[in-house]
Amino acid sequence: MSHQLPTGRRARLASLALAAVAAAGIATAVPSAASAAPGPRLVPSNQLVYVPGVWGGKLHGVDPLTGATKRKIPGGPNPMISAPSPDGKTLYVVNLPKGSQSGISIVDVASGTRTFIGLKGVAAAEVLSNGGKELYAVDIVAHEIVVIDTATKTIARRLKMPDHVADEPLGIEISADNKTLYIAYLAGWVASYDTQTGKPIHEVQLPEVPRAVDLATFGQLTLPGWLMLSPDGTRLYALNFATGNTTVIDTRTWQTVGTIDHHDRWALDVLASFSPDGKKMYFTNYGTANVQVVDTATLQTLKVIPTKGRPIGVATLDNGDVLVDTIPPQFTQANPLVPIITLLPVGLTSIRLPNIGVGQILRINGTTDTITGTTNVDDTIPGAFVAPAPAA
């Protein structure tokens, strides 16, 4: 499938895609045995959560119950996204560009030592296979998925994606049986591929919506920046960063079956997490500064929780509570896109704004859906929280 746009836009579109990635940084929790249980992926409440600090280059080991930082280990240049091995001994970190460096850092949790694997272009996202034998990293510039053997810490193969203007790969997810990769593309379509050969299986164009971004620079783009599978694997959620909604796809029929409305064109929905029973989803709406609670059966909003800062990451603990991290409100008073723009490749290498505050972790009671506590994180732009992949 080709979705052609004027070639002069390509660099700007790639930068916009990276902006969505920059808003969706991910932290990682060291898993417990419960992480392999069926159902939603949950963060172990008795283990440290490692939050990437984008500007400081550290992974902050945070107690998920108190929000207190217990230790820091190196995360490499501009650490934005990380995923833990099922045993919790290793962290796989996406490093956004800093100079000529962009790729994957493999970090030993105990010692803090780091091995760096550079990519041809720019690392944008990653997903660890169930069982943790392979890591799939999106290279948004080279239009390929780089598959890393986690045992040897080497590139095992490269899966080439379509190379059309505005078809930059962005979001990524993997099926529970490790046979299918789901890829979201900048221009607003989602496809599935064989994890071994890269052979296409299905593709679907995301529905156009009236609130699509109409700036001349970006055109009618959807920007599905994050993909998420339902606990049973039958639904794929495409969080559309630029249209204020989330598209729901049935993975069995490969048809769109619904839309979650985030109630604002500039909601800029970044990440989502399931409740332990799978009946609710929590979305971080960066643009409108709130956490939106959605009923997974009806796709309707149950509650909107305002946040002081702009939320980025979200994860559910195994005790049912929810963690959210935010960037300081002072950072976005003029325009919510300012901090994202500073995370683009040029901004990362040459622009540093004054220290105007630090990020926070919010603790939300999963029963009442109210904020019960806040704790500072020693970085202006912290990452977010996702639970580890289960063991094989």
Residue 356's pLDDT is what?
A: 59
Is there a contact between 195 and 182 (Cβ–Cβ < 8 Å)? no
Domain residue limits at 260: 7-386
Place of tokens 């009806």: 298
Number of domains forming the structure of the chain: 1
Tokens at 17, concatenated: 């895609």
Whether 236 has a pLDDT exceeding 60, the answer reads: yes
The string of pLDDT tens digits covering residues 22-58 is 555 545 555 443 333 346 888 888 888 888 888 788 9
Q: Is residue 1 part of a domain?
A: no
Residue 25's pLDDT is what?
A: 52
Chain center to CA of 170: 10
The string of pLDDT tens digits covering residues 237-294 is 999 988 899 999 999 999 999 999 999 988 989 899 999 999 999 999 998 999 999 9
- CA distances in angstroms from 339 to 22, 54, 330, 347, 366, listed in the order given: 9, 11, 10, 10, 29
Q: Specify which residues 222 forms β-bridges with.
A: none
Q: Is residue 120 part of a domain?
A: yes
Residue 32's pLDDT is what?
A: 41
Q: Is residue 39 part of a domain?
A: yes
Q: Is residue 155 part of a domain?
A: yes
Q: Distance (Å, rounded) from C-alpha 102 to C-alpha 122?
A: 5
Residue 272's pLDDT is what?
A: 93
Q: Is residue 353 part of a domain?
A: yes
Q: Distance (Å, rounded) from C-alpha 363 to C-alpha 126?
A: 26
Is there a contact between 281 and 258 (Cβ–Cβ < 8 Å)? no
Q: Is residue 228 part of a domain?
A: yes
Whether 296 has a pLDDT exceeding 70, the answer reads: yes
Q: Is residue 192 part of a domain?
A: yes
Kindly state the average pLDDT of the residues 58-73: 90
Q: What is the pTM of this model?
A: 0.86
Q: Is residue 12 part of a domain?
A: yes
Q: Distance (Å, rounded) from C-alpha 67 to C-alpha 378?
A: 11
The CATH number of whichever domain residue 285 belongs to comes to: 2.130.10.10
Residue 220's pLDDT is what?
A: 56
Counting Cα atoms < 13 Å in the Cβ hemisphere of 208 gives 6
